[in-house]
């Protein structure tokens, strides 16, 4: 199983610079998200970077992952999802977990819970929920790679999640699955 960190976007709603590089307890947001995957059962990790690629990649320096550049990052999240699905297919992963680079509060055991649900045939798409609210990261089994290679716009794999009969939700005790940082206000609210 592999993990893909989606870290290519411009984050235009965040005031004051690149949100992925904003600090949470002295660590850039994107690095915290990557560390979650590094501390989970994920075997291999790819970070997809785009906007300010050199700075974002530098924030991930010395972590056990590879970096792929998304030159089409302005086209929305789906461009990064396609690169991640391509990496998953090339690597022969049985499943891929897509982690959003702006979600620094997800706990590593939550990633493992998604994989366990997949490994026990609960579903080929596994989505976490916290207090009834769907969140991220999301796991896709290998049978969905071809479809993920065709997604477009800024919805990424959401249409597949919402419309596939083999998508399951798993309740987790992790508020981090619904805490993405889109604005300075979000950052302040979740770190106070």
Residues 2-39 have pLDDT tens digits of 999 999 987 767 777 889 998 998 999 999 999 999 99
Question: Would the pTM count as exceeding 0.75?
Answer: yes
Q: What is the fold of 2-191?
A: Spore Coat Polysaccharide Biosynthesis Protein SpsA; Chain A (3.90.550)
If you ran DSSP here, which 8-state letter would residue 102 be given? T
Measured CA distances, 46 to 57, 64, 96, 122 (Å): 11, 9, 10, 25
């Amino acid at each position: 199983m592999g993990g893909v960190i989606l870290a290519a976007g411009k984050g235009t709603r965040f005031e004051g610079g690149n949100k992925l590089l904003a600090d949470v307890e002295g660590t850039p947001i994107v690095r915290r998200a990557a560390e979650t995957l590094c501390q989970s059962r994920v075997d291999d990790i790819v970070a997809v970077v785009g906007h300010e690629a050199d700075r974002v990649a530098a924030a991930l320096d010395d972590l056990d992952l590879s970096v792929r550049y998304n030159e089409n990052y302005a086209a929305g999240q789906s461009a990064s999802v396609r690169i991640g699905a391509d990496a998953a297919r090339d690597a022969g992963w049985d499943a891929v977990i897509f982690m959003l680079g702006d979600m620094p509060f997800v706990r590593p055991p939550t990633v493992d819970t998604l994989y366990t649900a997949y490994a026990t045939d609960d579903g080929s798409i596994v989505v976490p929920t916290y207090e009834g609210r769907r969140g991220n990261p999301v796991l896709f089994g290998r049978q969905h790679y071809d479809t993920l290679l065709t997604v477009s716009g800024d919805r990424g794999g959401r249409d597949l999640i919402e419309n596939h009969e083999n998508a399951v939700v798993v309740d987790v005790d992790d508020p981090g699955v619904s805490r993405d940082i889109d604005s300075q206000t979000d950052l302040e609210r979740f770190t106070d």
